[in-house]
A and B are shown apart, each in its own frame.
Chain A
Amino acid sequence: MKKTYKIEVDCANCANLMEEEAKKTKGVKNATVNFIFQKIEVEFNDGADPEIVMKDVLKNCKKIEEECEIYLTR
């Protein structure tokens, strides 16, 4: 399953780091950050609950860039 979320991140390198962090998060199969359009596309593993996984993704991303934001509700 794939879902797209709006994000806010100021620097392009941080966006790349966010992508890496998101990919490492449990339950995430693949993730792509689109810095220009400020969105993240996350592909979840089968059986993973996107809501729970995304909370972890956000937590991990916050670690590398305090000011980044992922808007979990659309």
Chain B
Amino acid sequence: MMKKKQKIMLIRIIISALLLICLQFITMNGLIRFTAYMIPYVIIGYDIIKKAYKGIKNKKPFDESLLMTIATLGAVSLGLYQESQGRIGDYTEAIAVMLFYQTGEFFQNIALEKSRKNISELMDIRPDYANIEKDGVIKKVDPDKVNINDVIIVKPGEKVPLDGIVINGHSSLNTVALTGESIPKSVEINDEIISGSINITGLIKISVTRNFKESTVSKILELVENASSKKSKSEDFIAKFARIYTPFVVYSAIILATLPPIINWIISSNAMFSVWIYRALTFLVISCPCALVVSIPLTFFAGIGGASRAGILIKGSNYLETLSKVKTIVFDKTGTLTKGNFEVNAIHHNKISEEKLIEYAALAESASSHPIALSLKKAYKKEIDISRIKEIEEISGNGVIAKIDNKEIIAGNEKLMEKYNINPIKCHSIGTIIHIAIDKKYMGHIVISDIIKPESYQAIKNLRKIGIKNIIMLTGDLQKVACSVAEKLKIDNFFSELLPDDKLQKVEELIDGKNILAFVGDGINDAPVISQADIGIAMGAMGSDAAIEASDVVLMDDNPIKISIAIKISKICLNIVKQNIYFALGVKFMCLILGAVGIANMWLAVFADVGVMIICILNAFRVLFIKFN
């Protein structure tokens, strides 16, 4: 649908174009001819002339409309001058320039509207309604009107309108619009679900945990919309350039209209005023920097929109720009490169069955919420029977001593064993080792370790492929563990046994002001480091406000491959921005030079203005069609 304003413009363009063509076939003379030509000129240009008048009144000499008006009226005056010399005056050019200029503006308007629509369709996650059950009747309401703890119903095929917890039913959800992950996620009762995902199979009832404004969908949309308000350096450059460019062209035009004729007049007493004034008017037609000013934010925005579809939220054009220049990437290990949940990996030298060993270990550690204890409970698989446990004593940092089934269980590290004169068998595996003794007799040990995400291998390879020179890993974990992970993933450099403060200090040391450094973390305990880095990337951030707040780039799922995709998108965008800058400036300066020496006429000039703008906009659109995976 075209807006009313656009429709009127289209009609004006068509009428004046037709009139202009007709006039070419009618022979008229003198004043009648002049008047006839002025009709299409006024039809197509009246608003520009009006704006030009306002420009004069408000003392804005570099107003675009004013310059267009001077250029075209100047051309008309030259026509009149030709008439007065007994030749036939050329008015067609003035009308054509106005016509092309308006056509260009018209297309630009349509293109922008289209891009706005396209991009918002890309992010088509905004829910239109929520189903609320009241007195047995299902009612559709505005998601804005739903309160926390209200129960909403989501049918198959519908969008989840608000964040909440499933209280009834089970289903699988398509989260592709949020995370870029196309494999559906299954949800059961008590699972948290996030707004913006689409319910595929079953009907579910959800107890709302966040109102619409706080829900994930609103947060994401707000973030993406605000992203284009954070302007990139390229945009600032162009804005500054535009401020110089127009005055520069206008002053050049004035010089061109006066200086050469005066010199000519002195040398040969033939000033050729009309020739040089025409060339100066050609300058004015090229004086608008619009092509650049439009296409650059558009490119960034298309990039941000495309990235968000891949589950990558980039919080500003400036960050998109910086991302393309990243040279060093620092990873946090746990939860970023590794799964972050510890698992029982092996059991060695066990004197009793593996199941029994795990059972005693799980019971002994049952009071703790440490990740190690949780992994033991997970490996045990059965419910913990608390009545079997008589007492538990935690030896901080070393392990536990517990009485279970009237046996004394000692579970912990080597130090703990040695303290009780038990001789543990040393383990060469990487990870946390839990030695277990029952009634002071050594029974074997359990190896618990974090597992590397299967995607991490490819992620590191991809980063190298796109030219990331330095990949560094930081971890609070033991040197031995860090070394093994770094070796497996082929990471250049790692620093281990770091406290959160040490990580911050390390990153500060690594930032050298020359090479852009990105830090990737899970955003839970490394928020200060994320905000300290040149670019902070938080992963697995879906639903975590703290991570979204602290970071510049947010990966909705926890797949590290997304980092190289984000960098790739940013590089493509920056490339297009550069192409547009060089192309637009190149063509314009070429036209200025050709115009000054008289090769380029006003027709070429108006192409340089309008044509370049349209080509730049189309080039910016390319970002939307890039396949990211």
Where the two chains meet, the residues of A that have a C-beta atom closer than 8 Å to any C-beta of B are 10-16, 32, 34-37, 41, 63-64, 66-67
B228 CB, nearest partner CB in chain A, Å: 6
Q: Name, among B54, B229, B231, the residue most crowded by chain A CB atoms within 10 Å (CB to CB).
A: B229
Contact A36 B60 (CB under 8 A): no
The CA-CA distance from A67 to B467 in the complex, in Å, is 47
Contact B54 A34 (CB under 8 A): no
The CA-CA distance from A16 to B239 in the complex, in Å, is 7
Across the A-B interface, give the 7 residue pairs with the lowest CB-CB distance, nearest first.
Answer: A12-B294, A12-B293, A13-B293, A32-B229, A63-B58, A34-B229, A16-B239
Q: How large is the interface on B (under 10, 10 to 19, 20 to 34, 35 or more residues)?
A: 20 to 34
A37 CB, nearest partner CB in chain B, Å: 6
B104 CB, nearest partner CB in chain A, Å: 11
Which positions 330-359 of chain B face chain A at CB distance < 8 Å? none
Contact B297 A35 (CB under 8 A): yes
Nearest CB to that of A15 among chain B residues?
B293
Query: At the interface, is chain A mostly helix, strand, loop or mixed?
Result: mixed
* Cβ contact of A16, chosen from B105, B112, B225, B293, cutoff 8 A: B293
Contact B115 A66 (CB under 8 A): no
B193 at the interface (CB under 8 A from A): no
| Neighbouring B residues of A11 by C-beta, 8 Å | 64, 105, 108, 290, 293-294
On whether A13 and B288 interact (CB within 8 A), knowing A32-B229, A64-B58, the answer reads yes
A26 CB, nearest partner CB in chain B, Å: 18
B400 at the interface (CB under 8 A from A): no
Nearest CB to that of B60 among chain A residues?
A64
| Neighbouring B residues of A15 by C-beta, 8 Å | 293
| Neighbouring A residues of B290 by C-beta, 8 Å | 11-13
B289 at the interface (CB under 8 A from A): yes
A72 CB, nearest partner CB in chain B, Å: 19
Query: Beta-carbon contacts of B58-83 to A below 8 Å, as 1s and 0s?
Result: 10100110000000000000000000
On whether A10 and B242 interact (CB within 8 A), knowing A36-B298, A41-B229, A64-B60, the answer reads no
* Cβ contact of A13, chosen from B50, B54, B64, B298, cutoff 8 A: B64
26 CB < 8 A contacts A-B: A10-B109, A11-B64, A11-B293, A12-B290, A12-B294, A13-B242, A13-B288, A13-B289, A15-B293, A16-B239, A16-B293, A32-B229, A34-B229, A35-B294, A35-B297, A36-B112, A36-B115, A36-B116, A36-B297, A36-B298, A37-B228, A41-B229, A63-B60, A64-B63, A66-B50, A66-B54
Nearest CB to that of B294 among chain A residues?
A12
The CA-CA distance from A67 to B50 in the complex, in Å, is 11
B301 at the interface (CB under 8 A from A): yes
The CA-CA distance from A10 to B443 in the complex, in Å, is 79
B6 CB, nearest partner CB in chain A, Å: 10
B440 at the interface (CB under 8 A from A): no
| Neighbouring B residues of A16 by C-beta, 8 Å | 239, 242, 293
A60 CB, nearest partner CB in chain B, Å: 10
The CA-CA distance from A32 to B228 in the complex, in Å, is 10
Nearest CB to that of B51 among chain A residues?
A66
Nearest CB to that of B302 among chain A residues?
A36
The CA-CA distance from A14 to B105 in the complex, in Å, is 13
The CA-CA distance from A64 to B225 in the complex, in Å, is 26
The CA-CA distance from A13 to B239 in the complex, in Å, is 8
| Neighbouring A residues of B289 by C-beta, 8 Å | 13
Which positions 412-445 of chain B face chain A at CB distance < 8 Å? none
Given A11-B290, A36-B115, A66-B54, 15 extra CB contacts under 8 A = A10-B105, A10-B109, A11-B294, A12-B290, A16-B242, A34-B228, A36-B228, A36-B297, A36-B301, A63-B58, A63-B60, A64-B60, A64-B63, A66-B51, A67-B51
| Neighbouring B residues of A36 by C-beta, 8 Å | 112, 115-116, 119, 228, 297-298, 301
The CA-CA distance from A66 to B229 in the complex, in Å, is 23
| Neighbouring B residues of A66 by C-beta, 8 Å | 50-51, 54
A32 CB, nearest partner CB in chain B, Å: 5
The CA-CA distance from A63 to B56 in the complex, in Å, is 11
| Neighbouring B residues of A34 by C-beta, 8 Å | 225, 228-229
The CA-CA distance from A13 to B64 in the complex, in Å, is 9
The CA-CA distance from A28 to B413 in the complex, in Å, is 63
B544 CB, nearest partner CB in chain A, Å: 24
| Neighbouring A residues of B112 by C-beta, 8 Å | 36
| Neighbouring A residues of B228 by C-beta, 8 Å | 34, 36-37
Nearest CB to that of A63 among chain B residues?
B58
The CA-CA distance from A37 to B227 in the complex, in Å, is 11
A36 CB, nearest partner CB in chain B, Å: 5
Q: Name, among A10, A11, A15, A63, the residue most crowded by chain B CB atoms within 10 Å (CB to CB).
A: A11
Contact A37 B225 (CB under 8 A): yes
B112 CB, nearest partner CB in chain A, Å: 7
A55 CB, nearest partner CB in chain B, Å: 18
A59 CB, nearest partner CB in chain B, Å: 11
The CA-CA distance from A15 to B301 in the complex, in Å, is 16
A71 CB, nearest partner CB in chain B, Å: 16
The CA-CA distance from A50 to B225 in the complex, in Å, is 22
B221 CB, nearest partner CB in chain A, Å: 11
Nearest CB to that of A13 among chain B residues?
B293
Query: Beta-carbon contacts of B107-145 to A below 8 Å, as 1s and 0s?
Result: 011001001100100000000000000000000000000
